[in-house]
Amino acid sequence: MPVTQLRPNMDHWNERVDLAAAFRWTERLNFHEAVANHFSLAVNKDGTQFLMNPNQMHFRRIKASDLLLLDANDPNVMDQPGAPDPTAWGLHGSLHRRVPHARCAMHVHSIHATVLACLADSTLPPIDQNTATFFDRYVIDEDFGGLAFEEEGERCAALFADPKRRVMIMGNHGVMVIGNSVADTFNRLYYFERAAETYIRALQTGQKLRVLSDAIAEKTAAELDDYPGQADQHLSELKAILDDEGSNYAS
């Protein structure tokens, strides 16, 4: 039986399954930070209702049925039983309230993206195909203000005003990636961490970098923007591997 039919009476089941798979694979890649990071996915038209991981539950254990369904416009969310992590609410609630094109949002402290965020110059130059993917498609937050409670979350959300820029290099913090779906966002997160690793390792050689021209970098990024079906197939294959292993993510 397809995993999408195992719990037909729970709302947004297919979306829950996709998000649970993303949590499981993020842990496998060691992109997670103990129980501190968070993903969310909008499930209504204006994006204000969203799924998110429970407070401080390890990514390796999260199942589709565990995900919280929250309303970004509900002022009482943090007063209810089973409330989310307050920094997750501050960051993701603000995003889903203020940024309609952020259908899905993934925040992690993955190692190489975080190293990049700690550099005085957190620019990611286009030195290969993966780094070129993000040419003129990210924003750098230069004003880290501590834990992402609601005021900090609102400030961060305002930096996503340009729909073209779907990665935030959160200076002194980590990375936030947004997208149209779980597949789109996870694929972007995966490749951003790979791109950051390539750049950090290239810096470690101490050699002069071979940087692409702006024209070639933009051409490469545009071609990858339109590459057919890669993100959906990436997630589909990861779910197939989890299914083959007997994972309970889709329960």
Asked, for residue 140, whether it belongs to a domain, the answer is yes
Asked, for residue 251, whether it belongs to a domain, the answer is no
Asked, for residue 169, whether it belongs to a domain, the answer is yes
Given 3-state DSSP classes, what are the helix, strand and coil percentages for the chain, each rounded to the nearest 5? 45, 15, 40
Asked, for residue 209, whether it belongs to a domain, the answer is yes
Q: How far apart are CA 209 and CA 213, in angstroms?
A: 12
**pTM of the model as a whole:** 0.94
| DSSP assignments along 39-64, one per residue | EEEE-STTS-EEEE--TT--GGG--G
Asked, for residue 250, whether it belongs to a domain, the answer is no
From 104, 182, 177, select the one nearest 134 (Cα to Cα).
Answer: 177
What is the block-wise mean pLDDT of the chain (251 residues), using blocks of 10 residues?
A: 49 97 98 96 97 97 97 93 92 96 98 98 98 98 78 91 97 96 98 98 98 98 91 98 98 96
The H or E element that residue 175 is part of is strand 174-179
Asked, for residue 174, whether it belongs to a domain, the answer is yes
- Determine the pLDDT at residue 109: 97
> What are the C-alpha distances in Å from 228 to residues 224, 225, 234, 237?
9, 9, 12, 15
* Domain extent for 99: 3-244
Three-state SS string over 11-33 comes to CCHHHHHHHHHHHHHHHHCCCCC
The CATH number given to whatever domain includes residue 199 is 3.40.225.10
What pairing do the DSSP bridges indicate for beta strands 38-42 and 49-52?
antiparallel
- Determine the pLDDT at residue 81: 86
Count of domains for the chain: 1
Asked, for residue 131, whether it belongs to a domain, the answer is yes
Asked, for residue 93, whether it belongs to a domain, the answer is yes
- Determine the pLDDT at residue 70: 97
